[in-house]
Amino acid sequence: MKIILVVTNNPLAFEKYENSRKVEGSPVEVVEEASRMMLEGYSLLGSPLPPNGRLMKNPYRSIALVEEKGQSKSGRDLLLLENARQRLGETPFLSSEGGRGKDLALMDLELLETSLGHR
């Protein structure tokens, strides 16, 4: 059975998923941590970017990785993460203060669960 790891700066995702790695910082730092995990034998389970530009401004990001130890990896996942890092580096994120922050965290959690096939 393959191990799934969630790299996130979203407190809701960190609480919900036991096998998660909490990142303090912006979505850019989440992508950078996911890139480091690739070097430890993980690969992307889904896209590191949300499906549209509005969701790109969400200050919360959760990336699902799957353990692939012992298997050769293509550079595709690293290229996807580098592209995500560059795009997010140019993105102005919404404020996570107040009720809006909880809504944004919930949206990120829903995207994560969709990529994992849960609801």
Q: Can you give the pLDDT at residue 113?
A: 96
- Indicate the domain borders of the chain: 4-116
Residue 7 bridge partners (DSSP): 21, 63
Q: Tens digits of per-residue pLDDT, 35-65?
A: 999 988 899 998 999 999 999 999 999 999 9
Does residue 95 surpass a pLDDT of 70? yes
Q: Can you give the pLDDT at residue 74?
A: 66
Residue 71 — very low, low, confident or very high, per pLDDT cuts 50/70/90? low
State in Å, rounded, how far the first CA of the chain is from the last one: 21
Instruction: Give the Å distances, CA to CA, from 26 to 41, 50, 76, 106.
Output: 24, 15, 23, 16
Which residue type does 21 have? Answer: R
Q: What is the dihedral of CA 49, 5, 40, 90, to 10 degrees?
A: 20
